Amino acid sequence: MPESFMMSHFEAAAAVVRERTALQPGVGLILGSGLSALADAVLDGVAIPYEDIPHFFTTTVEGHAGRLVVGRLEGQAVAVMQGRAHYYEGYSMAEVTFPVRVMQVLGIETLIVTNAAGGLNPGFNTGDVMLITDHINLIGMGGLTPLRGPNLDAFGPRFPDMSEPYDLRLRELAGRAAAEADVPLREGVYVCLAGPSFETRADLRFLRLIGADAVGMSTVPEVAIARHGGTRVLGLSGISNIAPVEGAAVETTHEEVLEAGRVLVPRLGAIIRGVLRAL
Ligand code: HPA
């Protein structure tokens, strides 16, 4: 399980994508649990199974297909990851974030990341979309970061700035797109845990206290790599369940997370399409 990759690895993977399509994607899109259907709207696309791309992971989680779809969405050339890798699956952080750097080599300037997340903010409901305004890299603070290891100067600096990971203009465009599509848009801070167990109630109280509005098991490593390489980022969480902080016992299940995806796909789709049109 490689803990780090070299430029030649990213270039080898990018070369395979270029063999399959002449389209040069300007926008990367990562689809989270239960959100794969968003790729169905991509036009004139080629779908490249992850197995065909050197050094790519293959996904093991239900609800995550494993294909890179390159095509057009709202007139923009996009590379869509239908399925992502998570640290809890056993992949290294380098593997989890490998495709982000491949997309950077392919020329993306914007990355749109989506995820399914548990709502911590008491004002949130299942089915809400939350615009990520900032994140807490809890696992990164503990040492689980893809930026550990030799720095690849061709992508970015050893000590990258992380003061505003989520691009202000993209956030504005998302706000406008949501309003136009009549989708209520929440805003908040996403906290990343390693999973795969859902949180204890004490975990959840702690996460609320430190200022998190939604909790999940992905996204932050990908965003760290994207920002290291200077890629603009838009992050959207689909609130798939409300984390049971207090009150009667409510269990969180993966089925519930996937079920919420069905409500969330059209909402997230409307926002993403609106942003792409405005780019
Ligand atoms: N906790 C952590 N990750 C999640 C959750 C949750 O409640 N829902 C979806 N991903």
The catalytic position among 85, 116, 117, 243 is 116
- pLDDT on residue 32: 82
Is ligand 1 within 6 A of the CB of residue 224? Answer: no
**Looking at residue 64, what is its pLDDT?**
54
Please state which of the ranges 63-72, 80-89, 135-144 shows the lowest mean pLDDT.
63-72
Tokens of 36: 């794969």
Q: What is the mean pLDDT of residues 243-270?
A: 77
User: What φ, ψ does residue 169 adopt, rounded to 5°?
Assistant: -70, -40
- Check residue 245 and give its pLDDT: 66
Does residue 135 have an active-site annotation? no
What is residue 263's predicted lDDT score, i.e. its pLDDT? 86
Q: Which CATH architecture has domain 19-147+162-242+252-278?
A: 3-Layer(aba) Sandwich (3.40)
Ligand 1 atom at shortest distance from the alpha carbon of 119: 7
Cα separation, 177 vs 196, in Å, equals 33
132-143 pLDDT, tens digit each: 999 999 999 999
This prediction's pTM:
0.94
- When pLDDT is averaged across residues 205-217 and rounded to a whole number, the result is 96
Percent of the chain predicted with pLDDT > 90? 79
Given a contact cutoff of 8 angstroms between Cβ atoms, the answer to whether 67 and 82 are in contact is: yes
Closest-CA residue, ligand 1 atom 6, reads: 118
Is residue 63 scored above 60 in pLDDT? no
Confidence of residue 28 (pLDDT cuts 50, 70, 90): very high
